[in-house]
């Protein structure tokens, strides 16, 4: 199980955290991984000054996430991990 935590602190909220949660939900459903990926929201991850939204994927902090690069981030950091399990 891979855990994806999307920061929903005020800064990330303004930078589109909820849009990313929607994209995550859609992608998890489309790839049939509901039982392999645990998606949740989290409080500020301390990277507010970075561009984009911050994610924590299995303890790894990833900054600069936006709808434009979301699929790349998801493939590299979530799909790859799920396939290794
Ligand atoms: S609000 Fe997301 S890192 Fe601070």
- Prediction pTM value: 0.94
Distance 4 CA to ligand 1 centre (A): 15
List C-alpha distances in Å: 64 to 12, 17, 36, 83, 84: 10, 11, 24, 24, 25
The model's pLDDT over 14-71, given as tens digits with 9 standing for 90+, comes to: 999 999 999 999 999 999 999 999 999 999 999 999 999 999 999 999 999 999 999 9
Residue 52 CB less than 6 A away from ligand 1: no
**CB hemisphere CA count around 11 (13 angstroms):** 16
Residue 44 CB less than 6 A away from ligand 1: yes
pLDDT at 85: 76
Which CATH architecture fits 2-79?
Answer: 3-Layer(aba) Sandwich (3.40)
Pocket test for ligand 1, best of 6, 12, 19, 64 (most atoms within 8 A of CB): 12
List C-alpha distances in Å: 36 to 33, 50, 51, 68: 5, 29, 28, 24
pLDDT at 40: 96
Distance 72 CA to ligand 1 centre (A): 21
């Amino acid at each position: 199980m891979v855990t994806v935590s999307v920061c929903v602190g005020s800064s990330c909220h303004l930078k589109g955290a909820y849009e990313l949660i929607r994209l995550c939900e859609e992608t998890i459903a489309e790839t049939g991984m509901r039982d392999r990926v645990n998606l949740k929201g989290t409080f500020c991850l301390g990277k507010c000054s970075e561009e984009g939204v911050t994610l924590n994927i299995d303890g790894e902090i990833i900054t600069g996430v936006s709808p434009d690069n979301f699929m790349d981030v998801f493939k590299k950091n979530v799909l790859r991990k799920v396939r290794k399990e």
